[in-house]
Chains A and B, each alone.
Chain A
Amino acid sequence: MRLYLQKNHYGDYGDGHAGGLEQDANQDQQKQWPLWEVFMRSKQGLDHKHAGSLHAADATMALENARDVYTRRNEGVSIWVVESKHIHASDPDAAAEFFEPANDKIYRHPSFYDLPDSLKHM
């Protein structure tokens, strides 16, 4: 019995879906290397942050390209790449219903509470 163990990290997207596997209706599209988004941890302990995009034929190459394009000046210690088409984004037209309801929940913020100055360590 053979078992293929797969180890998944945050930011790992199945490379089975990457590169040219998914047949594109448009012939020209198929010839282009897909677009990838690059996220970089600038130093240990910080979040990965969007750095930019690039083209690559597959995930391995996308990581190498990200290293070659976006870390030439010591900008990163860790890289995530994800094919751009796998990113789901909120709709800017829905921004009002998405984000504005949070505007008036002022009681969620520590400054809402007026406490005596003599109270320490809070």
Chain B
Amino acid sequence: MDQTANQLQDQFQQRIDLEQKIEPKDWMPEKYRQTLIRQISQHAHSEIIGMLPEGNWITRAPSLKRKAILLAKVQDEAGHGLYLYSAAETLGISRDEMYEQLHSGKAKYSSIFNYPTLSWADMGAIGWLVDGAAIMNQVPLCRTSFGPYARAMVRVCKEESFHQRQGFECLLQLSKGSEVQRQMCQDAINRWWWPSLMMFGPKDDESPNSKLSMQWKIKRFTNDELRQKFVDMIAEQIKLLNMVLPDPELTWNEQTKHYDYGAINWEEFKQVIQGNGPCNKERLEARKKAWADGAWVRDAAIAHATKQAKRKAAAQTYSAKETE
């Protein structure tokens, strides 16, 4: 690395340390750009793939009110994906390229969405646990060092707060309902609890990208810190539901002032990431199909816009001649 590159690097780190935001046209280390593209697009893909498990229940929502809430929520996720893709686009990658990476399996997305939604209670559990975990991750990202990402996250977090609340309310209703509904509720919590904990990513000592991301203030807390915060929050909230978390080792630790929890099955995590989760193939196929089926629509819109612009230009030339 030559002298100027070193200087730029130092100046860049200084700005980060001074909590100055980095904007798209500013100089940035190539690795910073690549890390951001990877993280933001992965985040965007998660929003879009995340529409599918919940979308699975839109047509089966048990009341008109729930139908409206669920539809609005899944639509919000499309919006979040859009905000995030836009943020990534400022770094010089197009949305189509990012789709390409998703569809080819090169890009990852949150492994949680590779689990199936089997009952209505899953809508509640996803809102409460999955969105709850997502919010834990996302709130600190509102202060992330890259300006467009931080701004997108502010918008996302504003909209996200209703998601977790509706999820909890959905479960609360079930917890106060019939025996069947309570079972449904407990069953959904049992299935979604551990995958939610995995959402925070590998343990700190096994998270290769974490250190640099922390130094660049892309990330502001470590995976384990956020996971612990989440456990502490949920372990209290579940009392209101009169349900239990599927972890016999979950206990309050008076010394650390945190909840201790059992071992996460990291082998399962690894397998799901590698494509062996229950729904990996379905999820990706659904996205690829939507994109392929929409190709003629997108092409037609461009073709029409081109024709219209030409017609307009022709009309303007014509009228200019006539007024001469």
- A20-B313 Cα distance, complex, nearest whole Å: 13
In the complex, the answer to whether A33 meets B79 with C-beta atoms within 8 Å is no
Stretch of A11-19, A40-48, A108-116 that contacts chain B: A11-19
Out of B79, B82, B86, B305, name the residue touching A57 (CB < 8 Å). Answer: B305
| Interface of chain B, main secondary structure | helix
In the complex, the answer to whether A3 meets B82 with C-beta atoms within 8 Å is no
In the complex, the answer to whether B89 meets A20 with C-beta atoms within 8 Å is no
Interface residues as binary, B289-310 with A (CB distance below 8 Å gives 1, 0 otherwise): 0000000001101111110111
Find residues 273-324 in chain B having any chain A CB closer than 8 Å to their own CB. 298-299, 301-306, 308-310, 312-313, 315-316, 318-319, 322-323
In the complex, the answer to whether B96 meets A20 with C-beta atoms within 8 Å is no
In the complex, the answer to whether A20 meets B305 with C-beta atoms within 8 Å is yes
Out of B95, B309, B318, B319, name the residue touching A16 (CB < 8 Å). Answer: B309
B65 touches A (CB below 8 Å): no
Min Cβ gap B17→A in Å is 18
B211 touches A (CB below 8 Å): no
In the complex, the answer to whether B303 meets A72 with C-beta atoms within 8 Å is no
In the complex, the answer to whether A20 meets B303 with C-beta atoms within 8 Å is yes
Of A30, A53, A91, most B-chain CB atoms within 10 Å: A53
In the complex with contacts A15-B309, A72-B79, A55-B95 CB distance below 8 A: yes
Chain B contact-residue range equals 35 or more
Interface residues as binary, A28-52 with B (CB distance below 8 Å gives 1, 0 otherwise): 1011110100000000000000001
By beta carbon, the residue of chain A nearest B83 is A52
List chain B residues, Cβ under 8 A from A93. Answer: 27
Out of A2, A3, A16, A31, name the residue touching B302 (CB < 8 Å). Answer: A31
B268 touches A (CB below 8 Å): no
B94 touches A (CB below 8 Å): yes
List chain B residues, Cβ under 8 A from A17. Answer: 309
Q: For the A-B complex with A33-B301, A57-B301 known, give 6 more contacts whose Cβ atoms are closer than 8 Å.
A: A4-B315, A16-B312, A21-B309, A31-B302, A52-B152, A72-B75
- What are 6 A-B pairs with beta-carbon distances under 8 A? A4-B315, A15-B312, A21-B306, A33-B298, A61-B305, A72-B79
